[in-house]
Structure 1
Amino acid sequence: MNASPAPPDDWTPRGSVSALVAFAPGGGSDRSARVVAESLNDLDAGFDVNVENREGGSGAVGWATFMSEQGNGNALLIAETALNTLPLLYDVPFTYRDFTPLTMFAQDSRMVVAAQDAPYDTCEELVEAGAQDPVTIGSSGRTGADSLVNAEFEKNGGQFSVVPYGSTGEVLTALMGDQIEVAPASAASAKPYVESGDFKALCTLTADRYDDPVLGDVPTAREQGLDAEVTVWRGVLAPDGIAEVQRDYWISAVREAMDSETYRDYIEDDLLIPADLEGEEFEEYLHEYDEEMKEVFR
């Protein structure tokens, strides 16, 4: 079988480019994928990025599917922390090392909300309640950001009965319907419910409080005496086996896209921390993050 010819030194993508996200529409991963796609398409560089949702198995279905794109320079993967954590807990045919890191474009965290009549007002009280009787908590997937909240709280002595959902939107809908008792969520997703008075915020899992008129008064878990903090990466990766010229092209294109108003509005509206790690720096970050996650889930 003849090997495919190497792409030319002036390679550029043409036509349709897939941007796979391994979670359902409506969640944080889907939102980030659509921002990346829109920002890249606004470059008007001769290609059209289309988001494809391949949810299932807490990301496993989508990421396993993406492995078949090996060597394809016209395929992108918009991924997040669960790409590190899923292979630590489940027997899946990939790790983050099976893909090509391009750019980490944002960091995210979580906050925890409950119904207004919940018997706890802080995460410290929540953990104390869980130590007496397991609390039902929602989770967008079993190994993503929400699962890190659960792991952090269990390290502090709480116990939780986890109900998995396909997206943060589904988790918050379940809390609204009294199907669960508490919900971890992104700040942007939880903010409208806190602002409307439907939910009360128990704490954030950030290093510092949010710089936000609605959420700025919500204390961090550390302020409440819990040794708990959650940092989530969001980034763009490519298939394994792409040529260096293809990797370099996409790193440059994403860098240019991150200078757009669409990207800046996304960071501000979603209360994210901007990030800009490219290529080998992003790869090294993933190695270090993986070691941290091994400690969390050991």
Structure 2
Amino acid sequence: MFPKIGNFSNSAYYSKPSSQIFNNEPKLYPNYGKVYALPRPYYQQYPNPGSNERSFYHEKAEKVHEKSLERKLLYLKNRQINIEKEKIRDEVFKLYNISISNFELRRMTYEQLLTKVVKIHQKFKENTAALIIQQSWRNYILRKDPNYMKRIRLARRLAKIKSKKYTPNEAAVVIQRIYRGHRVRLEYDIIRGKYRIENNNKYFGDVQIKLKQDSAKIIWKYWANFRDARNAKIKKEEAERIKQQKEKERREAEELRKLQARKTIVNREIPPQAVQKLKKASTLTKGGRVV
């Protein structure tokens, strides 16, 4: 039924069940009638185990393996580069708040990305310097003229008004609106000033009362400490004076007793044994003789 094409030992036809051969179902069997190759015999794929020959298939397999290794190494290298690029992108977003899309990141090489980061950094430094200069200039102008910003805002409003073309009625409405706003702002400033003055008076009155109370407490504390120290000192001096008085009285009594004892010894007759004892006593001798 089918013509013989090639050697049937290593090729064959795709077929379908015999019951459906003559049914028109090409979609279910798209490979019907095509030839497919069967695997080659074992002895054609591998050389003789006893010989040192290398077959064509061995060499081809080694080349395929080398290419696969090269592809793997290239993939790993590209993957490492992509990881580094993603890290750089995250750092750029963190430092400068600038996002780089994945599409742009894939298109750029590592060197191009570094060049772009350098440019971003230079631009960031320029913007920072410009902001510092502008802020310093504004502060300088405000120190010299406090109404500078008001005049700038007024000039902008006037420029906006001049840029439009008004009819007389519209111009009158604009003038009235500006004047009414100015008058209301003045009234508001007056009311706000009064309110702030009242609040300040109340606040400083409370502060004054609190300071008086605190100062009274502090003064009383120091006065109590001084009073206690003074009373303690007076008590100590009084105790010392009483002690000295008692010591003085005791000494006077002792002197009086000694004087009376001397008078008694001189007036009465002293036996020789007592005289010898008195000579030995230092309290009753003076210059080696009885006083």
TM-score by length of 1: 0.15
Q: Which has the larger radius of gyration?
A: 2
Query: RCO (CA 8 Å, sep 6+): is it higher in 1 or 2?
Result: 1
Higher strand fraction (1 or 2): 1
